[in-house]
Structure 1
Amino acid sequence: MTDERPEYRVWALSGMPEVQQGDDLAKLIAAAEPGLADGDVLLVTSKIVSKAEGRIVEAADREAAIDAETVRVVARRGALRIVENRQGLVMAAAGVDASNTPAGTVLLLPEDPDASARAIRAGLREILGVQVGVVVTDTFGRPWRAGLTDVAIGAAGVRVLDDLRGGTDAYGNPLSATVVATADELAAAGDLVKGKAQGRPVAVLRGLPHVVAGKEDDDAEDAETGEDAAGARALVRASRDDMFRLGTSEAIREAVTQRRTVRAFTDEPVDPGAVRRAVAAAVTAPAPHHTTPWRFVLLESEESRVRLLDAMRDAWIADLRRDGRSEESVAKRVRRGDVLRHAPYLAVPCLVMDGSHHYGDARRDGAEREMFVVAMGAGVQNFLVALAGERLGSAWVSSTMFCRDVVRETLGLPAGWDPMGAVAIGHPAEHPRPRPERDAGGFVEVR
């Protein structure tokens, strides 16, 4: 039995000329390294790809170029911006580079790095008759880690992810979450020999043919191009799976601005822990006299929700009939409250006046209560925003304020608890409709 020791070799190409717009990178690489072999992996710095594809633009203001390439600001600190760019990559400054390019210009990332990798691979196959993998690389910083490293932003003919789930480790333990970012590991290996300032933009890695797509992968390849269609795009984590989608201040701002009233919910159960975390956020709101005027009654059982809503409906119908409403009008108005009945979870925020001051003067006592009501509103807003942060939809409905005695009696609440509406909670059944932008200037008066 032979003891095979896994190993590979990686080297940077010398003799690569300065790349100009319109250059054929496959021809330049083939001329610099005519001895490429099947199973090699080419690690190509994105800068030369961008130059060859004419992604140099005049820009007296780099910030304007970053704006044009930005889809979403992830985090901002001073002048530094971490953004999602038009290629779906989350990185500093959208990948806009002012180095290694003439003054007054900036270098943008390739428009489609996977397509760029496919073109280089196809060109080398035609020129040298070899089946190689190609990884287009760029430099990234990383959350929680100091320093930079190269990662794959484009790939062709390379298995970018190695999914080990379903296998076992050396001790026979099942692997349930292990997916290796092979293309990123290859990119980092190439960066060790290319360097950042040595003018060696291409490296070759040899000795790992198993990471290169071969003939057996033809059925999984794109029918038109004959190439692996997924490319490095498969490395970009989907937003629904991204637990760190935004920086702290941006996450708070997005939760506030994107919070919507949701009136249709799925049947998916609501995690009670998520609601309690939202309550914890609610009770950080400001309040007068160091008081804690918030109470949240959580209706987690269907029986409690139905009992409350039936009692409220009966009281509402009686009020409407006393007002002389027609039966048609009564039925129509009652239907408006169905958002609470269809929600899988309800919360009833209540105001308590414990710690309030009594002046014996109607004006000052009225202002005292208003202070507590404002604090209650701040708590409810915190609650709604925190629910949005938990990816839960919500709708605040004022109806419990019109039948407080009924709510207190049905839920067995103390006499001093004033219900301040109800919050329907659940998983949204559909994406909210776009909301017109509101100009903050229209709500501001400066003195």
Structure 2
Amino acid sequence: MTELQILPVHGVPEIRPGDDLAEILAARVELRDGDVLAVTSKIVSKAEGRARPGPRQDAVAEETVRVVARRGDLRIVENRQGLVMAAAGVDSSNVAAGEVLLLPERPDDSARGLRARLRELTGASVAVLLTDTFGRPWRVGQTDIAIGAAGLDPLTDHRGRQDAHGNLLEVTLNAVADEIAGATELVKGKADQVPAAVVRGLAHLVTAEDGPGAAALVRSPENDLFRYGSRDVLFARRTVRSFTDEPVDPDAIRRAVSAAVTAPAPHHTTPWRFVVVESDGTQKRLLDAMAEAWAQDLRGDGFTEEQIGKRLRRGEVLRQATTLVVPCLVADGAHPYPDARRSEAERSMFLVAMGAGVQNLLVALAVEGLGSAWVSSTLFCPDVVRQALDLPDNWSPMGAVAVGHPAVAPTERPPRDPDDFMVRR
């Protein structure tokens, strides 16, 4: 069993821009080959001149790439370093009044530079970690993590090994850099003026090369099951018109429908029905019948065959999709009224509820990592759709949703000013 020592580095003075941090630390601790030196990112930032004047919220906004969640003044954001953390890592403690401190601009490069300078000064081959305090979404309290690393592989891969019972380890990937960073916080502490610590006993983890850095600990967007925070989720929906051949998980559709039916509806009714078209034969029969009905309508309107062909191609997105979902309105709970005005209002209430259900469906599909496109064509030939799908007469098709895995990354949505869509009275 490995025996560890964690040694606090005492006597570190106030760090100022341009200070030789390696020289200051090397003068206060004896470094040996195989040691791991954990340094709080704050003193690295100070040495690199990352202090800024002005309000903290302004600095947070400037350092934010993506807002993941927001509640009151609290923001969880992705910052320029690719880290998802509170307030973009901007710190207002232990700095001059009126100033804030940003994280090192390139934490891995800072760790590599510090390691090289320590080797030059001491001759010791050590690993260097830059640490910062970090909250966890499902745990109360904070711990330290590694935001920069050099001379140590930040991950230890146990996949493919066997445990003591002979079971194959399939997902065990230890974030060893974060484990070391958290351990050093036990002897550092924000209020104790101990900004660095040496971990001794992990020489087997220290490498000759600088390694991939702590950037290897940041999960890629495509592998992030929790990519969308509470603020992101609505903006994640895009209209996708190109799909791969990868099949859609039926359970993902079920979960999306489960979200869809949480929409509000009048009179405590449940007016949503979602016809999931998974069979290639059924999909072809439905789309062929719809195309023919549309072509007949267009001929009746005087369009040429060439014009008709162009318009029919607009519906090709439905043929590309792995799965189709046809939302249907079933207004069984609508109240009857003797006059047209109130009957129309009643119908409108149910249509609004149907739209809310479809929107919930589209957003939930995006959260599942699926692309979708709502196409209105079934609204123009409801009888054809009912016949092709063998639906009851009181089911009103409300368009069709093409569902699949996007073939290309979605484009950025142009920003829209909400004031352009608001009227105040």
What is the CA–CA distance in structure 2 between the aligned matches of 1:376 and 1:359, rounded to whole Å?
21
One-letter code of the match for 2:141?
G
Counterpart position of 1:29: 25
Matched with 1:131 is 125
Name the CA distance, whole Å, in 2 between partners of 1:394 and 1:13. Answer: 55
What letter corresponds to residue 143 of structure 1 in structure 2? P
The alpha-carbon distance between structure 1 residues 54 and 295, as it changes in their structure 2 partners (threshold 3 A), is same
1:413 aligns with 2:395: no
Which residue pairs with 1:179 in the alignment? 173
Deviations 1:53-88 (A, max 9, x none): 1111112x1111111111112222222222211111
Cα shift at 1:40 = 0.8
| Per-residue Cα deviation, 1:327-352 (whole angstroms, up to 9, x for no partner) | 11121111111111111111111112
Distance 1:374 1:15 in 2: 67
Q: List aligned pairs for 1:215-294, cutoff 5 A.
A: 221=209, 227-228=210-211, 230-247=212-229, 249-250=230-231, 254-294=232-272
Aligned CA distance change for structure 1 residues 415 and 15 (closer, same or farther; 3 Å): closer
Match of 2:291 in 1: 313
Q: How many residues align?
A: 425
What are the within-5 Å matches in structure 2 for residues 46-195 of structure 1? 46-59=41-54, 61-195=55-189
Moved over 6 A (4+): none
Residue 8 (structure 1) aligns with: 4
Letter in 2 for 1:379: G
In the alignment, what sits opposite 1:362? 340
> Structure 1 residue 347 and structure 2 residue 342: aligned?
no
One-letter amino acid of the structure 2 residue matched with residue 26 of structure 1? A
Q: Once the 2 structures are TM-superposed, how far is the Cα of residue 246 of structure 1 from its aligned partner?
A: 4.2
- Secondary structure of the residue aligned to 1:66 is helix
SS at match of 2:130: strand
Shift of 1:7: 0.4
- CA drift of 1:318 comes to 2.2
CA RMSD of aligned residues (A): 1.5
Aligned-pair distance for 1:322? 2.7
- Determine the C-alpha separation between the residues in 1 that align with 2:345 and 2:137: 48
Partner SS state of residue 185, structure 2: helix
**What secondary structure, in the 3-state scheme, does the structure 1 residue paired with 2:85 have?**
strand
Which position in structure 2 is the counterpart of 1:217? Answer: none
What is the CA–CA distance in structure 1 between the aligned matches of 2:182 and 2:344, rounded to whole Å? 67
Q: TM-score, normalised by structure 1?
A: 0.91
Q: Letter of the aligned partner of 1:428 in structure 2? A: P
Write the letter of the residue equivalent to 2:123.
G
Q: Please give the per-residue CA displacement for 1:237-288, whole angstroms capped at 9, x wherever unaligned.
A: 11222223344x32xxx33233221111111111111112221222222222
AA partner of residue 199 (structure 2): L
What SS class does the counterpart of residue 102 from structure 1 fall into? coil
Letter in 2 for 1:38: D
Instruction: Give the aligned partner of residue 212 of structure 1.
Output: 206
Amino acid at match of 2:3: E
Q: What are the residue-to-residue correspondences of 1:320-339 with 2, within 5 Å?
A: 320-339=298-317
1:285-336 deviations in whole A, cap 9, x for unaligned? Answer: 2222222222111101111100111111222222222333211112111111
- Once residues 6 and 233 of structure 2 are traced to their aligned partners in structure 1, the CA distance between those partners, rounded to angstroms, is 46
Does residue 43 of structure 1 match 2:42? no
Asked whether the 8 Å contact 2:236–2:367 carries over to 1, the reply is no
**Closer, same or farther: CA 200–368 of 1 in aligned 2, 3 Å:** closer
Partner of 1:349, secondary structure, is strand
Structure 2: distance between partners of 1:353 and 1:104:
61
| Aligned amino acid, residue 271 of structure 1 | D
| 1:114 Cα offset (Å) | 0.9
TM-score, reference length from structure 2: 0.96
Deviation at 1:412, TM superposition (A): 1.0
Can you list the C-alpha shifts for 1:166-199, whole angstroms capped at 9, x where unaligned?
Answer: 1111122111111111111111222211222222
Is 1:396 aligned to 2:374, yes or no?
yes
- Give the percent of matched residue pairs that are identical in Structure 1 and Structure 2: 64
How far does residue 371 in structure 1 lie from its aligned partner after superposition?
A: 2.0
In 2, Cα distance between equivalents of 1:246 and 1:343 = 24
SS of the aligned residue for 1:192 comes to coil
Question: How far did residue 366 of structure 1 move?
Answer: 2.3
Distance 2:281 2:313 in 1: 20
Q: Which residue identity lines up with residue 7 of structure 1 in the other structure?
A: E
Give the counterpart letter for 1:326 in structure 2.
T
For the residues of structure 2 that align with 1:200 and 1:435, how far apart are their CA atoms?
46
Closer, same or farther: CA 408–183 of 1 in aligned 2, 3 Å: same
